[in-house]
Structures are given as C-alpha cells and as structure tokens.
C-alpha cells in the first residue's frame, strides 16, 4: 500500500520559483486531556515530541514530494500506532476482557471515500485495515471477527497480544478489572488523557484526507465504541476540510463534531478557525465534552483547538517550520 522510505526529502533549488509548489499542510495529534505540567518532566516531554516529530516528518515528506494526502495521513498514523507512547496499535489500553479492542477510520474528501473498523483484535496497524475497507470493499465499516477475517484475506499483519502490552496500561486495567469502572487512558493521579491518534492533510492536488486510530477506554465493556471510527463524528473529510478528533467519545458522537465543522463552513460561511472554535469551545463545552481536534482546510490553513489542559499535536504548513506542542 505504501512505503514510508520511498519518499525522499523535497529538494529546494534556487530555481524552485519556476515551478512553485501548491499549498499543502499536515497536522497530527497523539491525544488530549488533563495533561499535568507538574508530571511532565523535560525528558518525558522530549520523548513525546520526538514521537510526534517522527510521524509529522514522514507524512510531510510525502506531501512535499507531491504525494497524496491519503498516503500522508496513513503513514503518519502508522508511525503513531507503532509508538507505545500513544493509545493506538502497540501500547493500546486494555479492554474489560483483558484484550485490546482497536478502532480506526480513514476518509478522503475529494471523491469522497471512507473506511472504518471497530472492535478488532490483533491487527498490527488498524489504520491499514480501515484503508483496505475503503479501497477494497463495497462497505464503509466492518467490526469484530468479520473485520479480522477481511484483514487476513487481504494479507495484513497480525501480532500476538504481547506486542500490544504496555506495563503502565496493564497496571491501570488491573486496578479496575472486574468492576463497572471505565477509565480514560492515564486517568490515575489526576490525569485524564484521550489518547486517540490522528492526522489530517491537504496535498498539492487540493485533496483533503483524515485518519484516526485508538484503543479506546481502559476496561471498556459490552462492545463499546467511541467516536474515532465513526465517519462524521471523530473522523471526517470533504472538499472543504479534514478533521480528526480526540476526546471523550460519547459527547463527540452526539455532537457529530467532524461533519458539524464542515457544515458550519459550508452553510454559515465560517472560516476553519471560526467553525472549530464554535464546536470545541461552545458546543462541546455545553455538552461537557472534553478534548480537541486537528483540522486543515482547502487552502492549507490549520486549526488545532482543545478545551482541556493540553493536546499532543504537531503541524507543518508547506515548507514552513514545523510546530510541535503539548500545552497551550
């Protein structure tokens, strides 16, 4: 499907003005929440920022080399899934049955196309399965064992449960297992992190794409699914904007956050910044919905609002300097 090593850095030459690049942008996130500054050591912050920078650089390289937004968001999310710092793929939180139930979604806004999976076990990179659903099936969403069967049919990689294990998240689960308590990632010691990962991009062809992946909530039961794999809620793209959300999934689902931002731009004539601000800081706050989102519009403008203490995020517009931040 893609090879993150086949795109070399875009060569800047003295004659580059003869063939100017069209606008392109990439933004990524690694979750949001009450991330406490008091517990964020310089060493820990550097590790998180390095993980974000790696994913951003790989996706940006694709866009700079005239690759597609779809390829860029896929590549960025794969690298975040492979990083155990984030609650997606490797290092995903434990569900109530002691396994890892993985959700993901991807959408390309120009055509449009979308694919999503939910409640899947053992798939090494859930975002690749969501993309297979989009490109190689007549469906938009697959769940559980059926999605796993489709993944095997398409030759995607599976991994043993030990691959997904993370000691901290296992300890979190042990404290609440066999109880009705469901926790957000890192919900102990005053932190409540919504550790979904996501990416949004505009490519030089003017196409927009969004991708998201998550392990959900610690000790989730009864097949609970959040907003991440729901097209129009946690993940959305059309010809106006691309949106990837991170937050307490239930309010984001009720608010239909991704589509609502696009609708406010289309029907109210709002800018991306205005639309995302209204949804994140007004609509979601009224619904007690904590979290944030990353977004990009058809002109390459980026908005990354959040209504909590922090959000692991990074963005790069064209060949400008990259921004990698956690706190405000």
Residues acting as catalytic residues: 196
- Token look-up 């009450």 returns 34
Distance CA 275, CA 242 (A): 12
Burial 252-277 (b: 16+ CB within 10 A, else e): bbebbbbbbbbbbbeeeebebeebbb
DSSP 145: H
User: In what helix (H) or strand (E) does residue 315 lie, and over which residues does it extend?
Assistant: strand 310-317
Rounded Cα–Cα distance for residues 247 and 257 (Å): 11
Q: Strands, DSSP E only, in 178-248?
A: 193-194, 197-202, 208-214, 235-237, 241-247
Task: Quickly count: other Cβ atoms within 10 Å of residue 91's Cβ.
Answer: 23
Distance CA 164, CA 146 (A): 21
Q: Under a CB-based contact definition with an 8 Å cutoff, are residues 198 and 86 in contact?
A: no
- Residue 23's closest CA among 322, 316, 265? 316
Query: What six digits make up the tokens of 260?
Result: 């609502």
Q: What are phi and psi of 184, to 5 degrees?
A: -75, 160
Cβ atoms within 10 Å of 320's Cβ, excluding its own: 9
Backbone torsions φ then ψ of 222, nearest 5 degrees: 60, 30
Q: 167 by DSSP, 3-state: which?
A: helix
Q: Which residues pair with 323 in a beta bridge?
A: 315
The H-assigned helical ranges of 65-143 are: 69-81, 126-136
């Amino acid at each position: 499907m893609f090879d993150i090593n086949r795109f070399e850095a875009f060569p800047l030459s003295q004659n580059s003005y003869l063939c100017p690049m069209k606008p392109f942008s990439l933004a990524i996130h690694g979750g949001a929440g009450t991330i406490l500054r008091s517990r964020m050591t310089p060493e820990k912050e550097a590790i998180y920022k390095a993980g974000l920078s790696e994913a951003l650089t790989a996706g940006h390289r694709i866009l700079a080399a005239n690759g597609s937004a779809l390829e860029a968001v896929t590549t960025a999310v794969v690298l975040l899934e492979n990083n155990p710092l984030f609650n997606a793929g490797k290092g995903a939180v434990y569900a109530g049955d002691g396994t890892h139930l993985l959700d993901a979604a991807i959408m390309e806004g120009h055509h449009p196309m979308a694919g999503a999976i939910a409640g899947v076990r053992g798939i090494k990179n859930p975002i690749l399965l969501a993309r297979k659903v989009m490109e190689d099936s007549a469906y938009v969403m697959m769940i559980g064992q059926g999605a796993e069967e489709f993944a095997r049919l398409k030759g995607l990689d599976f991994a043993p449960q030990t691959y997904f294990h993370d000691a901290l998240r296992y300890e979190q689960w042990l404290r609440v297992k066999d109880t009705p308590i469901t926790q957000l990632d890192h919900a102990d010691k005053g932190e409540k992190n919504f550790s979904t990962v996501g990416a949004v991009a505009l490519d030089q062809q003017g196409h927009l794409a969004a991708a998201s992946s998550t392990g959900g909530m610690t000790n989730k039961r009864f097949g609970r699914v959040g907003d991440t794999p729901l097209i129009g809620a946690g993940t959305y793209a059309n010809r106006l904007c691309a949106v990837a959300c991170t937050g307490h999934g239930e309010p984001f689902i009720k608010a239909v956050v991704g589509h609502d931002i696009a609708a406010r731009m289309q029907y109210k004539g709002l800018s991306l910044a205005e639309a995302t601000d209204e949804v994140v800081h007004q609509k979601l706050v009224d619904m007690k919905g904590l979290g944030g989102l990353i977004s990009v519009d058809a002109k390459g403008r980026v908005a990354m609002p959040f209504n909590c203490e922090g959000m692991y995020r990074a963005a790069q517009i064209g060949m400008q300097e990259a921004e990698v931040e956690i706190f405000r």
